[in-house]
Amino acid sequence: MSASLADAERRLRLRLGELAFPEQLRQSILACVTAVISPSEATAARVSIDFEQQALAAAAQCGEQCERLPNVSSQQRRALAVECESLFFGLIRSAQRLSEPPARAAGNK
């Protein structure tokens, strides 16, 4: 989300640069944009960090549970643990991709 907000702010600044506003109004708009976006970016960053920490903890817990499975060879337990952990790592990667700004078409501003 932070990346999307930064991209939205960048686009707004570009659009503002195209408009014929008096400088005082332009500066007021920029100050308002910063006041709106900055807290949201900080919140999004905290949420992202918290999500990753929870997912990593869940991956570790899942791996530990696999390692304690009875009646399964140690090699099978380790393979299950790796698979289990990779599910959570994939979840983290998916969330990171969602937080990236949308891809821009070539030549599109």
As a whole-number percent, the residues of the chain with pLDDT over 90 amount to 50
* pLDDT in the model for residue 57: 95
45 pLDDT above the threshold of 90: no
3-state SS record for the chain: CHHHHHHHHHHHHHHHHHCCCCHHHHHHHHHHHHHHHHHHHHHHHHHHHHHHHHHHHHHHHHHHHHHCCCCCCHHHHHHHHHHHHHHHHHHHHHHHHHHCCCCCCCCCC
100 pLDDT above the threshold of 70: no
Q: Where are the domains of the chain?
A: 2-99
* pLDDT in the model for residue 50: 93
Q: pTM (2 decimals)?
A: 0.63
108 pLDDT above the threshold of 60: no
